[in-house]
Amino acid sequence: MIALPLWLVPAAPLALILLFALPQARDALRSLLPLAALPALLAALAAPGPMPVQLDWLLLGAEFALNDTGAAFLFFTAVLWGLAGWQALRLLADDPHRDRFLACFLLAMSGNFGLLVAQDMASFYSFFSMMSLASWGLVLHGSGVAQRFAGKVYIAFAVVGEVALFAGLAMGAFATGDLALSAMAAEGVPPLAVALAAGGLLVKLGAVPLHLWLPLAHSAAPAPASAVLSGAMLKAGLFGLMIVLPLGDAPWPAAAAALAAMALAGLVLAPALGLVQGDPKSVLAYSSIGQMSLMALGLAAALAAPGSWTLIAPALVLLAILHAFAKASLFLGVPAVWASPRGATRRAVLLTLALPALALAGLPGTGGFFAKNALKTAIVDLPQGWMLWLVPALFLASLGTALLMIRALLLLGSAKRKPSVPADVLLPWFGLVLFSGVGLSLAPVNGVAPLSIKLSDFLPVVLAGTFALLALALARAAHLRFDPPTPGEILGLFRREPDPKPLPMLPPPPRRSRGLVLYRGRLRTTRPEQGSLAILGMTAALALFALLPTPTVEVTDHPSEITSP
Amino acid sequence: MSFFLPLAILMTSLGVAPVILMMPDSARRLRTGVNLAAASLKVALVAWLSYEVAHGTSFDLRHSIAQGLELHLQADALSVLFLALSSILWLLTTIYAVGYLEGGTDRSRFFGFFSLCVASTVGIAMAGNLFTFLVFFELLTLATWPLVVHRGTSEAHRAGRIYLAYTLGGGLALTLGTIWLYALAGEVAFEPRGVLGDIPETSPLALTAIFVLLIAGVGVKAALVPLHGWLPLSMVAPAPVSALLHAVAVVKAGAFGIMRIVYDVYGVETVQALGLAAPLAALAALTILWGSFRALTQDDLKKRLAYSTVSQVSYITLGVALISPVAAIGGLAHLVHQGIMKITLFLAAGNFAEGEGVKTVRAMDGMGKRMPGAMLAFTVGALGMIGIPPLAGFVSKWYLGAGGLDAGQPMVIALLAGSSLLNAAYFLPILYRGWFCAPPEGVTPGRRLGWMLAIPPATTATLVLAAGLLASAPFSPLGWTRFIVSLEYL
């Protein structure tokens, strides 16, 4: 096999953008969009993996390499971006702003690929921000009210996350003097630095309470963009956390407790808030929060019991792969449902969609069950007290996911057909569902033990099904209708007051006496004499400042003697 | 021959200025030819000079005026940094100004003073002692005034008056400080690590007072709060002048002056020993936040950019005042980085005004469709200002942050984070409007801009990207500043 240069992985989408500058070539280039993910896929599957690349002249000295975890992430990331890109081409075939979307899509794709191979802080941070900022364009694409709101919330969270990541990385780099990203997990890095960097990554991961942007963005973006947001980009947060957190070293109980609290909140909130949503994409987004919280729980467990990290890490990778494929299949399935008329086609599409849904819910026999079980068996040696709530939490996660999946499928089943959506959006979606089946066996993960199925493992799915049937029956019998709340959770409760209308200007009243009109008519802007005043003021202030702390130099001369040189 | 290059570089603009001033307004081709030839020649000469300085050649040009008072031009690594920045940006600004103003009136006056302005900048960059610095610094004040009032409107005249009041006041403080220091120390040449010898031990109070006077003098041009009032008002000037004020000459001359005073007159140890570094850093921090804060509420595009300059230029001062080699690298690199980013923004804003008549943030809707090239350049400049990697601003911020930690001031990280958030808060809405809002109903396509207006912002935007991406390459701004700082601190 030809050795693939690793820099080609992020460079391929960028090259395509550069070529986009030629208007004549655009039509031909557009159809190449899915192929921009090909180098990444080849690099992920290559055995032996591509050689590391050292680029001393790039940024602060960049290094690209692909380790086992990176290869697993790059594998599903590449598949998702490729297939989502294909569907985006079909879905947006007649969109006037298609090229703007595709440019943002390619930029975010390059960022997502790049951060998985970047080994140093500067290039990781560059790719990470490129992905975050370019995704703003994906969220805003529809330019409706929902998109504007989602875009605002998204960019606010993204920028705050970036800044926290910057601060954390800068502090870490200074403490160790090492620009390698993995140095963040080394000894001697101040806990504040790790916390800041992790905070920035947790925003991307969608951990509660930093998740507010997530449901809004996912339901506002076009479906292929939601698929990569949820399937690939959230995982970038997980990937970063797996590197910067000091996992597998000494236990760090405080951080473990904080992360576990966030994860638990996510596991509870995701079904609670997701079930009441009226938009299937929003329901799917809440399910992503739950699933990502499950992965955060794995990280928390590894922080509490470092000994189990060697088992937890492959389990997390497996969970990430499974969630990526299943959730992306569901998101790409949304336009597929829109494109299919009610009747046999719709039923076939929904039945196919039930496969990834069941896998996510962890039905025994599916990959989802396998992955969840891997996590469950990996978490051992935990401190006293953790086990008390961990088992119920894992059960809750499965139950919540199953309920959310049923809700999403029900909403999709009753969705109206959109004649504007072309039928060929079905192809990439079907490709992904097929690939998901094969994909898990292809994915480069090792170190997970085989398992046996117990009858009790069916309990979450069965319970969820029963709940759903009961709820449906109840609603039908009592003639109840359900009105979903406004999106945005706490942010949705606020409305910005419209700007007050400017008052009509009144002419100033005639001047009668000076005493009453002391300040009227005075210009409120800077005036010339203020320049000299400001200089005087600053001189005085600086002099005062400088005189306050006694200078360390001895005062031996009187200042009046200075005139003689 | 060591005097030839500095003299030649100075004369490419100082000698050209009277020639252009005397041309009739109608001699358009000749004037443009002379302008561009001089600017290109200067870039070539500066490139030659940089090569020589990097290989250790020293340059010296002295002219004695009176006993103990001489004009002295030299070229050290710090000069070359400022020279390279101003000569390359001057060439681009000249091209832009020709495209922008050659339809208007009083062009010979404009381009004459334009050359004079850059001549003073060159003089400031190559000044070998405080007196020479002062002479060119004052010349810059006077040469810029006709450019600020170029349009001749009452608003322009008001801005011009205020500009003069501030800068002449600052010049007075600088002059007083210079005279006092000459009286105290004899000739004050610029030498790495300062020239004051044992004076700090004998008369610290006088030196403190002189430092305050000098910093107040150059601080006006560097737009340190509260001396920044003239800068946002001067944005009434034509776009190339704004570019000159904000990126190439005036504001940069102030920041460069702060560097010279701290590094080459006092020396960092003396500044620290006198307890002057902390107040200066505090002032810079205040300016960074205040400028960003004021920028938030400006609807006029150029005014928002002007307040952003107030904030960003103080990064340079902060880098100098933190007294840490790492922070110094950040500050010095930002001298170049801020220049190329801000000139990109102003040139793009000038194109918006010229092409579509868009002058306010509110009117930016749909600029991505209306003027994609200019909007792309603006985007690169704005993201660079926020500090998004891999653009130039990220590199300076990274070094400033590390420098803050190095100097034992972790609050600098919080300051940079806060400033980045504020920058994002006033730049991202512009990008949002430009790319994601539909153009207003019934807007007619504006006039097509020629290559003279389109090429300069595209070039500087490319430079912003290159300065960040290739930061570790030799001869990048970062590489050159590392070289300078090694001279100052090792």
Q: Is A565 on the interface with B (CB under 8 A)?
A: yes
Residues of chain A with Cβ-Cβ distance to B397 below 8 Å are 166
Angle at A270 between CA A462 and CA A79, to 5 degrees: 85
DSSP state of B98: H
pLDDT for res A558: 45
Residue A557 has pLDDT above 50, yes or no: no
Residue A516 has pLDDT above 80, yes or no: no
B435-489: per-residue pLDDT in tens?
999 888 887 777 788 888 999 999 999 999 999 999 888 778 898 888 888 876 7
DSSP secondary structure string for all residues of A206-260: T-TTTTTHHHHHHHHS-HHHHHHIIIIIHHHHHHHHHHHS-TTSS--HHHHHHHH
Angle at A147 between CA A145 and CA A153, to 5 degrees: 105
CB-closest option in A151, A528, A552 to B161: A528
- Reported as a pLDDT band with limits 50, 70 and 90, residue A227 is very high
- Reported as a pLDDT band with limits 50, 70 and 90, residue A15 is very high
Residue B213 has pLDDT above 70, yes or no: yes
Mean pLDDT of all residues belonging to chain B: 90
Residues of chain A with Cβ-Cβ distance to B398 below 8 Å are 60, 122, 166, 170
Q: How far apart are CA B131 and CA B405, in angstroms?
A: 36
A534-543: per-residue pLDDT in tens?
666 766 776 6
Determine whether the interchain pair B389/A525 forms a contact, defined as Cβ–Cβ distance below 8 Å: no
Q: Is A232 on the interface with B (CB under 8 A)?
A: no
pLDDT for res A539: 66
Measured in residues, chain A has a length of 565
CB-closest option in B203, B215, B390 to A542: B215
Contact A308, A376 (CB under 8 A): no
Interval A56-77 mean pLDDT: 90
Q: How far apart are CA A554 and CA A548, in angstroms?
A: 15
Q: Is A552 on the interface with B (CB under 8 A)?
A: yes
> Would you call B427 helix, strand, or coil by DSSP?
helix
Contact A74, A4 (CB under 8 A): no
CA atoms A7, A13, A14, A15: torsion sign? positive
A181-199: per-residue pLDDT in tens?
999 998 889 999 999 999 9
A254-298: per-residue pLDDT in tens?
999 999 999 999 999 999 999 999 899 999 999 999 999 999 999
B96-119: per-residue pLDDT in tens?
999 888 778 888 899 999 999 999
Residues of chain B with Cβ-Cβ distance to A167 below 8 Å are 401, 413-414, 416-417
Contact A115, B389 (CB under 8 A): no
DSSP state of B238: -
CB-closest option in B164, B274, B397 to A553: B274
User: How do the domains of chain A map onto residue ranges?
Assistant: 8-477
pLDDT for res A37: 93
Q: Is A530 on the interface with B (CB under 8 A)?
A: yes
Residue B192 has pLDDT above 70, yes or no: yes
CB-closest option in B183, B273, B388 to A565: B183
- Reported as a pLDDT band with limits 50, 70 and 90, residue B34 is very high
Interval B209-219 mean pLDDT: 94
Q: How many CB atoms lie within 10 A of CB A520?
A: 9
Residue B2 has pLDDT above 90, yes or no: no
Q: How far apart are CA A425 and CA A338, in angstroms?
A: 10
Which chain B residue has its CA at the smallest distance from A526's CA?
Answer: B229
Residue A560 has pLDDT above 50, yes or no: no
Determine whether the interchain pair A565/B186 forms a contact, defined as Cβ–Cβ distance below 8 Å: yes
pLDDT for res A542: 66
DSSP secondary structure string for all residues of B343-381: HHHHHHHHHHHHHH---BSGGGTTHHHH-HHHHHHHHHH
Residue B301, sorted as left (phi over 0), alpha (psi -120 to 50) or beta, turns out to be alpha
Residue A439 has pLDDT above 80, yes or no: no
Higher pLDDT, A356 or A561: A356
% residues pLDDT > 90 (chain B):
63
A414-435: per-residue pLDDT in tens?
888 888 888 888 888 888 888 8
Interval A144-152 mean pLDDT: 91
Mutation target for A interface from B436, B464, B481: give the one with most A CBs within 10 A: B436
* Nearest partner of B395 among B346, B464, B339, judged by Cα: B464
Determine whether the interchain pair B208/A173 forms a contact, defined as Cβ–Cβ distance below 8 Å: no
Q: How far apart are CA A111 and CA A96, in angstroms?
A: 25
B72-92: per-residue pLDDT in tens?
999 888 899 999 999 999 999
Burial per residue of A107-136, b for 16 or more beta-carbon CB atoms within 10 angstroms, e otherwise: bbbbbbbbbbbbbbbbbbbbbbbbbbbbbb
Residues of chain B with Cβ-Cβ distance to A554 below 8 Å are 201
Interval B214-220 mean pLDDT: 94
Residue A501 has pLDDT above 60, yes or no: yes
Q: Is A102 on the interface with B (CB under 8 A)?
A: no
> Would you call A487 helix, strand, or coil by DSSP?
coil
Paired with A118 in beta bridges are: A64
pLDDT for res B425: 95
- Reported as a pLDDT band with limits 50, 70 and 90, residue A27 is confident
Which chain B residue has its CA at the smallest distance from A151's CA?
Answer: B432
Residues of chain A with Cβ-Cβ distance to B468 below 8 Å are 59
Distance between start and end Cα atoms, chain A: 79
Give chain B's radius of gyration (CA, Å).
Answer: 21
Give the gap in angstroms from C-alpha B398 to the nearest C-alpha of chain A. Answer: 7
Q: Is B470 on the interface with A (CB under 8 A)?
A: yes
Please report which helix (H) or strand (E) contains residue B66, including its range: strand B60-66
Residue A559 has pLDDT above 50, yes or no: no
Distance between start and end Cα atoms, chain B: 30
> Would you call B187 helix, strand, or coil by DSSP?
coil
Angle at A476 between CA A472 and CA A480, to 5 degrees: 100
Contact A545, B279 (CB under 8 A): yes
Residue A555 has pLDDT above 50, yes or no: no
- Reported as a pLDDT band with limits 50, 70 and 90, residue B323 is confident
Contact A270, A292 (CB under 8 A): no
Determine whether the interchain pair B162/A526 forms a contact, defined as Cβ–Cβ distance below 8 Å: yes
pLDDT for res A517: 42
* A–B interface: beta-carbon pairs under 8 A: 187
* Highest mean pLDDT, choosing among A372-376, A558-562, B282-286: B282-286
Q: What does the longest C-alpha to C-alpha distance in chain B come to? A: 73
pLDDT for res A46: 85
Measured in residues, chain B has a length of 490
Give the gap in angstroms from C-alpha B474 to the nearest C-alpha of chain A. Answer: 8
Determine whether the interchain pair A59/B201 forms a contact, defined as Cβ–Cβ distance below 8 Å: no
Write the ipTM: 0.92
User: How do the domains of chain B map onto residue ranges?
Assistant: 286-490
CA atoms B182, B187, B191, B194: torsion sign? negative
Mean pLDDT of all residues belonging to chain A: 85
Q: How many CB atoms lie within 10 A of CB B344?
A: 32
pLDDT for res A199: 96
Residues of chain A with Cβ-Cβ distance to B394 below 8 Å are 122, 125-126
pLDDT for res A493: 77
pLDDT for res A552: 47
Paired with B163 in beta bridges are: none
pLDDT for res A201: 96
pTM across the whole model: 0.90
pLDDT for res A172: 93
Residue A565 has pLDDT above 50, yes or no: no
Q: Is A164 on the interface with B (CB under 8 A)?
A: yes
Contact B325, B284 (CB under 8 A): no
Residue A478 has pLDDT above 80, yes or no: yes
3-class SS letters over A507-554: CCCCCCCHHHHCCCCCCCCCCHHHHHHHHHHHHHHHHHHHHCCCCCCC
Interval B141-158 mean pLDDT: 91
Contact B48, B5 (CB under 8 A): yes
B408-445: per-residue pLDDT in tens?
888 999 999 999 999 999 999 999 999 999 888 887 77
pLDDT for res B330: 93
Contact A531, B230 (CB under 8 A): yes
pLDDT for res B490: 56
